Amino acid sequence: MGIINTLFAYGVFAFFIFINLHYTLASLLQLILGVLFNFKTTGKVVFNNNDHKLIGRFFAVYILIYGLYLAGLKIFNIFEISNYIAGAILLPPLSLLTFLLQKEFVFKNKTA
């Protein structure tokens, strides 16, 4: 499921970069669409949990990841590295961090 969610996130980001949105806006739209897509898939498939009350914690994790993603993109931009490449480099470690935070903070009572 993590691979599907990561591909979805990168696809959304790459699409918005392709249509010339600034990386901060592309990342924000990726965040919003990613939260909507991932909450159901991650909660049910990965953690076997359908508790809709967890959306606030789930969203908080993604806000943190969004901040880290923007910081990473800004650093890559300083070195004039393409947003496509920067996004692809940042997604795997941030996806792993997202999983770990969801496991410990959002879906703590359920195991993966």
pTM of the entire structure?
A: 0.76
Residue 112 lies inside a defined structural domain of this protein: no
Structural domain count of the chain: 1
pLDDT digits (tens, 9 = 90+) for 96-106: 999 999 999 99
Residue 18 within a domain: yes
State pLDDT tens for residues 18-46: 999 999 899 889 888 988 888 888 888 88
Q: Name which of 103, 68, 98, 102 is nearest 76 in CA terms.
A: 68
Q: Which helix (H) or strand (E) covers residue 3, if one does?
A: helix 2-18
Token duo for residue 45: 């498939």
Residue 111 located in a structural domain: no
Residue 73: domain span? 2-106
Q: What is the mean pLDDT of residues 41-69?
A: 89
Q: Over range 83-99, report the average pLDDT.
A: 92
